Structure 1
Amino acid sequence: MPLKTCVTPDMSINHPWQSQSAANHTVYLSRFSSSDQPALKQALETCAAKAVGLLDVNIQEDSLYLLFEWNPARAELVIVVTDANKTNDGAYKVQAELPDLQDKAADETLPETIKFLLSDFLASYSPFFSYSLVAIFHSSSRAETSLL
């Protein structure tokens, strides 16, 4: 798994991403340390910017959503482009592991904090405005998403 460095647009953050490719998809994976609010905010913004940076090559004819999936038990965020049924994902996904948040898995406010930070970032991230995707979030199942 070769490491790739990603410089996100409009942000001066260099962050290493592991690229894992399979037959029909590529996952950009990274691990972020620290669980304090500023570090969490920076990690989420880095991931969202990486996902937006992949939109040109990731959007398909039936793409509708930029889906942010938070898994509290694994302290993991996955970002995918998907269709209206949330079943046909784009070829590229961004996956972030935040192991320092695993001890906060029972904290019911953490998903709302993550949702707020992502929403706040996307609301002012001009590269995202070039696309007509709807940003959605869930922390349980794709059937229970909400708008960012």
Structure 2
Amino acid sequence: MRTYEDFTAGLEIPLGPYVADRDDMIAFAREFDPQPFHLDDAAGGANELVGSLTASGWHSCAMLMRMMADGFINDSSSQGSPGVDFVNWKAPVRPGDTITGRVRVLSRRLSGKRPTLGIAKIGATLENQDGVTVLETEYTLLLLTREGVAA
């Protein structure tokens, strides 16, 4: 299990691949973001900005979360996150896209109040199969130290 001590500044962790499935995109949009260009091929094609059916940006975030859970979170002492600093949707995710990415530890420090809790600033980037960046985000990850895990 990875603990705070393993998340050194500069560490990069690869993510994915994850294939964006058309039916999953539409199901997610029906439930959470029912804008026409997320629900229908024709409506997506008629949208001047995207030109085809695209995943909701929030679905892209959910894809990122799945890749992070598989890539490192489920094998870490993660205690969750107090929040996200920003999310930028740089390009649409389209049906059939193969998404890969990476997270990078930007900085880290121990909590001033809880010495067995570490705080890491994480940057994440996702790209499609053509190397086009589709999402960028930064957030804070809380991790137990080795001492905290042993307690």
Q: Which has the higher contact order (CA 8 A, sep 6+)?
A: 2
Q: Which has the larger radius of gyration?
A: 2
The two structures have a TM-score, normalised by structure 1, of 0.29
Q: TM-score, normalised by structure 2?
A: 0.29
